[in-house]
């Protein structure tokens, strides 16, 4: 049986607040009404959404799975409301961007500042996301474009390369390799390397760098983000492998950025729906971003 929007709204409220009482306050609806609607929803679905123990509700695995889809619906509703707000405020347009965390913390703010100066009446929304989430918001039309230093593969997307974004090693000052013009991957084996967990997309690039050697070096430390690896290298914790944009325009006190001689790079690309051309506003922003990140290195 299909759920209506009211049932979805109540289910989400209970999941977010963790209780019927919380959902009641969030939606300004009586507790008995919430309980009745949840029970009716479970009856229509044919399975339990919550386990009831000592007066408390505990989400079932099915409920958690359903919530992920419900959130997609609500993001779509938010998109509609944002467009309505733009129309009501007589704004000339909006630009919604999904962006990799490292680009969002370095080059993107500069490009947004330039764009806002040229288009002060345009509303800009930026979401810092991982590739899988970028794909979701692109396909659902929640953003106009995505800026990613990791591949986003889907037949309905088209891409534009902005910069190759080479890999650099952040080597503590005074280290024997810190004065080198570049280093080979094999020269880093045996060093105190700061790596990334296997599920982290950037970690796959680092794995690829050493793949040609036939063996992977032992990573003495593991982190989730290149920005954290940079911070650790700056205090002398070890050698961090990051992309050039991670240190773009940033001071690297305590360590030196030495290019790694490898064909592997974290190329920064623009992604958008193949069936929809970028708007003039989006094209203007892409041009500004390209100008900002060009000094990061690596020709197209």
**Pair 266, 205: CB distance under 8 Å:** yes
Q: What is the pLDDT of residue 92?
A: 63
Same structural domain, 35 and 61? yes
- Within-domain flag for 286: yes
pLDDT in single tens digits along all 300 residues of the chain: 577 888 888 998 898 888 888 888 888 889 999 999 999 988 888 889 999 887 788 899 999 999 888 888 877 777 777 777 765 654 567 899 999 988 888 889 999 999 999 999 888 999 999 888 899 899 988 899 999 988 898 999 999 999 988 999 999 998 999 999 999 999 998 899 998 887 788 888 888 888 877 778 888 899 988 888 999 999 989 999 999 888 877 667 888 999 999 999 999 999 999 988 888 889 999 999 999 988 766 555
Single residue among 16, 33, 68 that ends a domain in this structure: 68
Same-domain check for residues 212 and 99: no
Domains: count for the chain: 3
Q: Where are the beta strands (DSSP E) in 64-117?
A: 94-99
234 belongs to a structural domain: yes
Give the CATH number of the domain where residue 49 resides. 1.10.10.10
What's the CA gap between 128 and 146, in Å, rounded? Answer: 10
Say if 216 falls within a structural domain: yes
Is residue 182 one of the residues assigned to a domain? Answer: yes
Residues 221 and 206 in one domain: yes
For 171, the 3-state DSSP assignment is strand
Query: What pLDDT digit, counting tens, does each position of 232-267 carry?
Result: 999 989 999 999 888 877 667 888 999 999 999 999
Same-domain pairing of 102 and 62: no
- Model pLDDT, residue 91: 57
Q: The pTM is what?
A: 0.67
Give a yes or no: residue 215 inside a domain.
yes
Same-domain status, 244 and 182: yes
**CATH of residue 120:** 3.40.190.10
Q: What is the pLDDT of residue 90?
A: 47
Apex 198 CA angle, 193 and 199, nearest 5: 135
Is residue 60 domain-shared with residue 175, that is, in the same domain?
no
- Considering the domain architecture, whether residues 171 and 235 belong to the same structural domain is answered as yes
Q: How many residues does the chain have?
A: 300
Q: Is residue 275 part of a domain?
A: yes
153, 195: one domain:
no
Does residue 74 fall inside a structural domain? no
**Does residue 216 share a domain with residue 132?**
no
The residue whose two tokens read 């347009």 is: 93
Do 144 and 23 lie in one domain? The reply is no
Tell me which long-range contacts 200-208 makes (C-beta under 8 A, separation of at least 24).
200/224, 200/225, 201/130, 201/131, 201/150, 202/149, 202/150, 202/226, 202/243, 202/266, 205/150, 205/167, 205/264, 205/265, 205/266, 206/167, 206/241, 208/264
Helices (H) and strands (E) in the chain, counts: 10, 12
pLDDT score, position 1:
58
Is 80 within the bounds of a domain?
no
Burial readout 197-217 (b: 16 or more C-beta within 10 A, e: otherwise): eeebbbbebbeebbeeeeeeb
- Residues spanned by the domain of 207: 167-259
């Amino acid at each position: 049986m299909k759920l209506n929007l009211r049932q979805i709204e109540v289910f989400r409220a209970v999941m977010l607040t963790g209780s019927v009482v919380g959902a009641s306050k969030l939606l300004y609806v009586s507790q008995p009404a919430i309980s009745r609607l949840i029970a009716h929803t479970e009856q229509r679905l044919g399975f339990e959404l919550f386990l009831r123990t000592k007066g408390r509700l505990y989400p079932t695995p099915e409920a958690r799975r359903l919530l992920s889809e419900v959130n997609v619906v609500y993001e779509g509703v938010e998109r509609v409301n944002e467009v309505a707000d733009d129309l009501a405020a007589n704004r000339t347009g909006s630009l919604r961007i999904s962006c990799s965390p490292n680009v969002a913390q370095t080059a993107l703010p500069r490009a947004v500042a330039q764009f806002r100066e040229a288009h002060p009446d345009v509303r800009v929304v930026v979401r810092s996301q991982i590739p899988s989430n970028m794909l979701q918001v692109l396909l659902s039309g929640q953003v106009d474009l995505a800026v990613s230093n990791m591949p986003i593969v889907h037949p309905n997307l088209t891409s534009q390369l902005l910069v190759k974004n080479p890999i650099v090693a952040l080597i503590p000052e005074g280290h024997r390799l810190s004065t080198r013009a570049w280093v080979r991957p094999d020269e880093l084996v045996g060093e105190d390397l700061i790596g990334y967990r296997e599920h982290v997309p950037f970690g796959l690039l680092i794995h690829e760098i050493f793949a040609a050697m036939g063996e992977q070096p032992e990573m003495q430390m593991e982190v989730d983000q290149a920005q954290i690896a940079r911070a650790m290298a700056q205090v002398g914790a070890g050698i961090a492998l990051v992309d050039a944009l991670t240190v773009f325009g940033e001071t690297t006190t305590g360590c030196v950025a030495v290019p790694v001689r490898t064909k592997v790079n974290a190329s920064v690309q623009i992604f958008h729906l193949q069936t929809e051309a970028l708007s003039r506003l989006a094209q203007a922003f892409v041009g500004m971003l390209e100008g900002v990140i060009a000094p990061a290195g690596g020709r197209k």
